[in-house]
Structure 1
C-alpha cells in the first residue's frame, strides 16, 4: 500500500508547482520533500517526476496517483464532517479567505453570528484576492473562500469546487463631484478619457474588466494609481486625484462620500459567492459559516435595497 503522506506531497507538488513551494507551505526542507518523493517512486516502481529546465513536472503515472489521492482526501474530509456532526458543539479551526470589500462588509457580521452560535469554533480569516484564494482552496490552505466574479469575465470553475451565490454587488463610476450626464453611461465614461484613473493592478480580474469597459467606450484610460485596496482608491477620488470604478460593498450600507453614476447595461453588477471544496459543504463548520454569510448578505441587501 502506498504511503498517504508521500502521496499528499505529490499532490502538493501538483498544486504548488515547485518543490520549494511545497517545502515552504508544509515547513519542510526542499531536500526532505525530494527524498520523500524519491521513496514514493520506489514504492510505485515507475518514474513520477521528470525534469523540465530547472523545475520538474508530474509524469502520466503521477497524475493518476494524484487523482486517486484527491478522492481519498475528499473521503477523509467527509469522515471528518461526520465526526464533527456527531458532536454537540462545533470546535476546531475554520480557515476563510476573502477579498477586501467582502472582508469589510460581510465577514464581520458573519463572524458575530458564528461567535454567538458556536463560541468554541475558532475562525481564521485571511484577506486574499480570488485569483490566489481559489487555487489555495484546492490546495487545502482554506476551508472556504469568499470570491467575486466580474461581468463578462467569468472565473474558471474547477470540478472540485462548489459555489454558492451570496449577492450581486452593484458597480458604479465614482467621481470627486457630480458631472452632467449626457448621452447615457457610455458617454459618461468617454467624457473621462483625459482624467487620471485609479484601478487594481494588471493581472487581476477587476483590472481586466475595467480596461475592457473603458476600451468598449472608445478610449484607453490614463491609469496613474494602481492598488488592490479599494479604500485607497476611494480616498483618491474623494481628494479629486482620480476617478475609479467602485462596488457598493465599499459603502457597507452607509451613504456614499463621492458622486456615483451608473455603468452601461450588462456591466453593472459583480457576483459575490462562497466556494468550498467538493465534499466539504457538508462539514458542520462550513455549513454554519455559509449560513452566517448568507444572513449577513441578506441583511446588507435589505438595508441597501440592491
Structure 2
C-alpha cells in the first residue's frame, strides 16, 4: 500500500521539477524528500527516478505513478470535504492578487464574520501566475485571479474557474492632466508591470495598436508604486478600477480604445468544490465584488 504523503511528494516533484523546490514548498529538508521518495520506490518495486546531471527526473513509470498520485490526492480531498460538516470547518487557504487582497477580500471577510463566525480564512497575496500553479499543487484551496482581453489563463486539469465579474481598465494620468487619448501618449514615460506578465503583454499591445512602442521607463509589480509615480507626474499608465477601492482615485482617468475590461475570477480544485467552507468563502467573495462601487472617471 502506498503512503499518501509519499505520493504527494512524487506529485510535487512532477509539478516543480526539482527536489530542492519540493522541499522548499513543503518545508522539508531535501534529504527528507529524497529519503521518502526512495521509500516510495521500494514500495513500488520499480525505479521512479533517474539521474539528470546533478538533479533527478521521473522515469516513465515515475510519471505514470505521479498521475495516479494526483488522482489519489483528489479522492482524499473529496472524501475530507464530504465529511467536513460532521467535524467542523477546515481553514480555507486563500491566495489573491494584490488589488483583490486590498479591496474584495476585506469586504468578504466582513460578510463571513456575520455568516460563518467560526470559519478561519488564511490569506496570501500572490500574482496569478504563481497562485494558480500553487493551487494545483495544493498549497491553497481557493484563488482570486484575473485575465486580460486576449490573454486567457492556462486551464489545468482538476481546476475550475468561475467568473466574479468584470473590472474596467483605463488610462491613468497625473491629477492636473487633461484626459488624453492613448495615441497622444507616445512621447510619455510609462510605468508597467514586469516583462513576462500577462498584463504587461496586454498593455504593450494596446500601445502598439495605437501606433507606437511605449517608453517603459518604470517597472513595478506593486500597483501602488504605479499610482505614486503617476501622481508625481513621472509617468502615465493603465490600471484597473479595482485599485481605487471605494474611494475616488484623485487621478485623471481616460478611456482606452474599446473600453476593455479584465475578468476577475475564482479558481478551485474540482475535488474541493463540495467543501462547504470553500464555497462559503467563494460566495462571500462574489458578493463582495458585486457590492464593490467602481469609480467612474
Establish whether TM, by shorter chain, passes 0.5: yes
Give, in angstroms, the shift of residue 85 of structure 1.
2.2
Aligned partner (choices 186, 209, 224) of residue 216 of structure 1? 209
Give, in angstroms, the shift of residue 249 of structure 1.
0.1
Equivalent residue number for residue 256 of structure 1: 249
Deviates more, 1:26-35 or 1:221-230: 26-35
1:154 to 1:135, Cα distance in 2 relative to 1, 3 A? same
SS in 2 for 1:295: helix
Give a deviation string over 1:90-144, Cα, whole Å, max 9, x none: 5331110000111111100101111222222211101000000000001111010
1:3 to 1:91, Cα distance in 2 relative to 1, 3 A? closer
CA distance in 2 between counterparts of 1:169 and 1:55 reads 44
Aligned partner (choices 282, 289, 295) of residue 290 of structure 1? 282
CA distance in 2 between counterparts of 1:153 and 1:28 reads 36
Answering whether residue 198 of structure 2 is matched by residue 190 of structure 1, we say no
SS in 1 for 2:292: helix
CA distance in 1 between counterparts of 2:275 and 2:122 reads 16
CA distance in 2 between counterparts of 1:235 and 1:304 reads 18
C-alpha contact 1:165 1:272 (8 A) present in aligned 2: yes
Give, in angstroms, the shift of residue 40 of structure 1.
1.6
Counterparts in 2 of 1:169-184, with a 5 A limit?
A: 169-176=167-174, 177-179=176-178, 181=180
SS in 1 for 2:80: helix
CA distance in 2 between counterparts of 1:74 and 1:3 reads 15
Deviates more, 1:28-37 or 1:233-242: 28-37
Segments of 5+ residues of structure 2 without an aligned counterpart are none
C-alpha contact 1:130 1:147 (8 A) present in aligned 2: yes
Counterparts in 2 of 1:2-151, with a 5 A limit?
A: 2-87=2-87, 90-151=88-149
TM-align CA RMSD:
1.8
CA distance in 1 between counterparts of 2:114 and 2:274 reads 21
Give a deviation string over 1:267-297, Cα, whole Å, max 9, x none: 6100000001112111011100011011101
SS in 1 for 2:84: helix
Aligned partner (choices 158, 164, 167) of residue 166 of structure 1? 164
C-alpha contact 1:174 1:243 (8 A) present in aligned 2: yes
Give, in angstroms, the shift of residue 4 of structure 1.
2.2
C-alpha contact 1:178 1:260 (8 A) present in aligned 2: no
Deviates more, 1:37-46 or 1:236-245: 37-46
C-alpha contact 2:95 2:131 (8 A) present in aligned 1: yes
What is the number of equivalent residue pairs in this alignment? 296
C-alpha contact 2:244 2:295 (8 A) present in aligned 1: no
SS in 2 for 1:86: helix
Equivalent residue number for residue 273 of structure 2: 281
Give, in angstroms, the shift of residue 227 of structure 1.
0.8
Counterparts in 2 of 1:261-276, with a 5 A limit?
A: 261-265=254-258, 268-276=260-268
CA distance in 1 between counterparts of 2:117 and 2:97 reads 25
Give, in angstroms, the shift of residue 305 of structure 1.
8.2
Equivalent residue number for residue 247 of structure 1: 240
CA distance in 1 between counterparts of 2:202 and 2:85 reads 42
1:232 to 1:169, Cα distance in 2 relative to 1, 3 A? same
C-alpha contact 2:179 2:252 (8 A) present in aligned 1: no
